[in-house]
Amino acid sequence: MTLETKAHAYWVDLGQRPYDEVQEIQMRVAEARLTGQIQDDILLVVEYNSPVIEFGMDNKKNQFSPKLNDALWEAGICPEDFISISHHLLDGGIALREKRRAGGATVIAPGQLVVYPVVNFERIVGHPFGIGAYKSRLDEVMQQVISSYNISSYIANGMNLRLERERRDVWVSIHGKDYKIGSKGIHTHRGGIAEGGFVIYVHQKGMLDFWMVNPCGYDHDDVSVISMEAILGEAPHMADIKDRVQEAIQQLFSYSRLENISEKVLYDKLGLSGVSLLHQ
């Protein structure tokens, strides 16, 4: 059975925004997609304006780093007291959130490009139940963009065979060491609808707080992260990264057109008439 057809989709650049606001927007779009209020795929792109430690749905992989655990004990906080930890981190300007997606702990911060496709993934990959193929398609988007900057990358779970196959992401190898440069986390719904998405590590400032977690539950000897800036020696322009991501998605998702629309137009499609989503 082949489902793949050319489709029209919409690209919404949210600029630099707070984490909670973007999650609310994504939730509203997913609900509208599930109910049929919106028939077309919506792709949200954003750079968060402050760092967030994000936990996924795999509790065994939601791990703070030993270094952060030591700091918490020194502050008189039990590393299992989620509420106290959240307040402590927020005092330092870092939010702690749980998200409905696969995988474990990560850090999302300014300097990273985050893309949330709210899409019919079965149409994108051309057959039903194609979640594995859709994940691979997201990896291909990241790899195509990163490679366009003459950075040699590969899609794998890292050369370290202790890493699980499900952690396939985009990696680079430098002086014999493997670094993750792009990652993903998605959540699927009935009818072949997916939300969540992927992150490309663009600027070095987006890497500064990764010491606080064991990425996806692995210690830093197994999983290290790196930015495009660290490899290139200069920071790529975020606007240029966005253009290349949009081009790669239009090609690899087989869209006839990936149209830029404003937030106002998106809100009109959601029936919100541009009123702040956080106050609905």
Q: Give 190-202 pLDDT, tens digit per residue.
A: 889 999 999 999 9
Residue 74, pLDDT score: 93
Which secondary-structure segment (H or E) carries 33?
A: helix 19-35
What are the structure tokens assigned to 119, written together?
A: 């899409």
Helices (H), 99-211: 121-125, 131-147
pLDDT tens-digit readout, 57-102: 778 788 899 999 999 999 999 988 989 999 999 999 999 998 888 7
Q: Is 60 exceeded by the pLDDT of residue 280?
A: no
CA triplet 44, 197, 195: central angle to 5 degrees? 75
In which domain, by residue range, is 101 found? 7-279
- Write down the pLDDT at residue 2: 42
Please give the C-alpha separations between residue 86 and each of 105, 115, 257, in angstroms, as whole numbers: 14, 25, 42
| Residue 222 in domain | yes
Q: Is residue 2 in a domain?
A: no
DSSP element (H, E) containing 67: helix 66-74
- pLDDT of 158 over the 50 cut: no
Residue 14, sorted as left (phi over 0), alpha (psi -120 to 50) or beta, turns out to be alpha
Residue 23: the pLDDT is: 95
Secondary structure of 188-219 in the HEC alphabet?
A: EEHHHEEEEEEEEECCHHHHCCHHHEEHHHCC
Q: What is the pTM of this model?
A: 0.90
Question: What's the length of the chain?
Answer: 280
Task: Give pLDDT, residue 204.
Answer: 96
1 within some domain = no
* Euclidean distance between CA atoms 204 and 206, whole angstroms: 5
Over residues 20-27, mean pLDDT: 95
Question: How far is Cα 252 from Cα 273, in angstroms, rounded to an integer?
Answer: 32
Note the pLDDT of residue 279.
Answer: 44
Min mean pLDDT across 52-66, 128-142, 199-213, 264-278 is at 264-278
Rounded mean pLDDT, 266-277: 73
**Tell me, what's the pLDDT at 126?**
87
- The domain tally of the chain equals 1
Q: Residue 267 domain-assigned?
A: yes
Q: First and final CA of the chain: distance in angstroms?
A: 41
Please give the DSSP secondary-structure letter assigned to residue 86: H
What pLDDT is attached to residue 129? 73
The pLDDT, as a whole number, for residue 276 is: 52
What CATH code is carried by the domain that includes residue 32?
3.30.930.10
Question: pLDDT of 225-241, one tens digit each?
Answer: 999 999 999 999 999 99
- Helix or strand run (H / E) with residue 84: helix 82-91
Cα(227)–Cα(80) distance, integer angstroms: 30
Q: Is residue 246 part of a domain?
A: yes
Evaluate if residue 165 carries a pLDDT over 70: no
Q: Cα separation of 61 and 271, whole Å? A: 38
Confidence at 159, pLDDT banded by 50, 70, 90: very low
Percent pLDDT > 70 in the chain is 91
Q: How far apart are alpha carbons 89 and 190 in whole angstroms?
A: 36
Specify the pLDDT at position 3: 44
User: What is the mean predicted confidence (pLDDT) over 151-165?
Assistant: 61
Residue 157: predicted pLDDT: 56
Q: For the chain, how big is the Rg over CA atoms in Å?
A: 19
